[in-house]
Amino acid sequence: MPESVTAWARAKLNLTLDVLGRRADGYHELLSVMQSLELADRLVVSLTSDGIEVAGGPDLPPPRENLAYRAVEVLREKTGFRAGVRVEIEKRIPVAAGLGGGSADAAAALAAVNHLLGLGLTSHRLAVLAAEVGSDVPFCLVGGTALVTGRGERLSLLPSAPSMWLVLARPSLAVATVAVYEAWDRHGRPGPPASPRLVAALNRQDFAGMVAVLGNQLEPVVLQLYPQVAALKETLAGWGALKVWLCGSGPTLAALAAGYEAASEIARRSEAAGYQTWLTRTLV
């Protein structure tokens, strides 16, 4: 049995995010097309004599709030394994940014421990455990391009989106997902969902049709709460992005560029203007 494994935890991007309404359990019913990005954290998961340990840079949330820690804990509660586990995270995905970095780490840790200890959990069982850790974790286990429903935990795979060059940029402020959904309860209203139109465009491999419907129904609420995000959106659009929309509950914005050169230019300007910036593309 191997003593350690290395795994990549891919960031996710909501190509669309439709909020259908608030449910009785307080969560929100979603319809979203999610997409894996090349941007990824690198994890080394190893077996130790006991305990659960998560190590990484100063950016990492403390163990109790760390989804990778929580994932290993849930797996241990459910399967009763005794070994200790150490998860070392080389963080590249920005934290609390709307890119599912914590969820990606959790999914990678679940799969790695299942493999390392030969627990033999099926992908269905892993997905059920993943949903307990967080709404985005089941998608991160599978990756690619998928339509997610429910609170985000139910998914069906879609044809791959074409390769798209993206600039991700954020002002230096933190957004709490809970606060964004609460603001949506007060001010948001469901609009016609974009996800079914994106699914149709993906099935036709119609790029222009896809670009037309990229968007996020949490965006109006976040732009109103955080004027810095609204200003950044205008700026990115002014630099020639084909489309700019909010990632998850923010505060990161995704700017779709016509190609690598255009994306590099937007990224260069965004960095020079003092925004935290990442150049990446969709994983095909």
> Helices 123-133 & 67-79, crossing angle to 10 degrees?
130
Residue that has been written with the tokens 């190509």 in this structure: 15
Site for ligand C5P in 24-63 (CB under 6 A): 27-28, 30
Give catalytic status of residue 41 as yes or no: no
Rank residues 67 and 262 by Cβ distance to ligand C5P and give the closer one: 67
Q: Shortest approach of ligand C5P to residue 176 CB, angstroms?
A: 9
CA distance 175 to 198: 27
CA distance 70 to 52: 9
CB 31 within 8 A of CB 147: yes
Q: Shortest approach of ligand C5P to residue 251 CB, angstroms?
A: 15
CB 97 within 8 A of CB 252: yes
Give catalytic status of residue 136 as yes or no: yes
Q: Shortest approach of ligand C5P to residue 219 CB, angstroms?
A: 16
Nearest Cα residue to 47 out of 111, 1, 10:
1
Based on the shown chain and the rule CB under 6 A, indicate whether residue 179 belongs to the binding site for ligand C5P: no
Based on the shown chain and the rule CB under 6 A, indicate whether residue 178 belongs to the binding site for ligand C5P: yes
The tokens for 102 are: 């914590």
Nearest Cα residue to 109 out of 76, 68, 79:
68
Question: What binding mask, one character per residue, do residues 82-121 give for ligand C5P by CB under 6 A, x or -?
Answer: ----------------------------------------
Q: Which of 41, 136, 233, 243 is catalytic?
A: 136
Q: Shortest approach of ligand C5P to residue 123 CB, angstroms?
A: 20
CB 266 within 8 A of CB 239: yes
Based on the shown chain and the rule CB under 6 A, indicate whether residue 12 belongs to the binding site for ligand C5P: no
Pick the binder of ligand C5P from 101, 152, 215, 248 (CB under 6 A).
Answer: 152
CB 175 within 8 A of CB 98: yes
Catalytic residue set: 12, 136
Q: Which residues bind ligand C5P (CB under 6 A)?
A: 27-28, 30, 134-136, 151-152, 177-178, 181
